[in-house]
Amino acid sequence: MTNDVDQPAETDTDTDAAAETKAEAGTSRSLRWPIACAALAILLVASLVGCFLLWQDRSDREDLADAESAATEEAERIVVAWLTYDYRTYQDDMTWVITSGTDKFQEEYSPEALEGLEKKLIGPGKLVSRGRVVDSAATVEDVDTVKVLVFTDQTLVDKEIRREGGEPLHARSGVELTMVREGNAWLVDEMVQLQFQ
């Protein structure tokens, strides 16, 4: 009989242990779901942040590429205007300084400065010049400032060449321009002519 009495006590202990294990398993299962959801939420937020940063980086690179392209195009146009002139229409040929230059640039290439060049060199020599762009390269400092190096070929004819029927002079040079964006326009802020030949 003692065995009969002891046996139910063991069964009660087993039942209690099983119930306790079930309770722990239930608690463990009930904690897994919120932890899994929290981990997924963290991964989702990290993915969204990563996507935003990649998009922002791509957008910044596109903005810089657009700035480089627009500034280079305008710099090439300006250099052709700078190197293309006729002694008979020189004042009109240089009006690009006002429309394409910053205030600083307009001060440096003022009508008085250009008039001095016209009186000393262009007028007396009766120079006619045609410029063209051979190549160009740009370095973007930021979306509003781009340095452009323009390689040029310039054909010059003066009164002696015309009188003697000689071949035009050819000059190859480079022009370095600092282009700045003001509003929607790209303007030249600095221009340095580099002579190669």
CATH of the domain at 164: 3.10.450.540
According to the model, what pLDDT value does residue 52 have? 76
Please check the confidence at residue 11 and state whether its pLDDT lies above 70: no
- How far apart, in whole angstroms, are the C-alpha atoms of residue 155 and residue 132? 9
42 lies in a domain?
no
Give me the domain span that covers residue 80.
Answer: 67-195
According to the model, what pLDDT value does residue 63 have? 86
Query: Exposure string (b/e) for 138-167, b if CB count within 10 Å is 16 or more?
Result: bebeeeeebbbbbbbebbbbbeebeeeeee
127 lies in a domain?
yes
Q: What is the pLDDT of residues 24-58, one digit of tens each?
A: 555 666 778 788 788 888 888 888 887 777 777 66
According to the model, what pLDDT value does residue 51 have? 74
Q: What is the pLDDT of residues 92-101, one digit of tens each?
A: 999 999 999 9
36 lies in a domain?
no
Overall pTM > 0.85? no
| Helix, strand, or coil (residue 95) | coil
Please check the confidence at residue 105 and state whether its pLDDT lies above 80: yes
Number of domains in the chain: 1
Tell me the range of 12-16, 144-148, 158-162 where mean pLDDT is highest: 144-148
Greater pLDDT, 80 or 1 = 80
Mean pLDDT of 107-112: 87
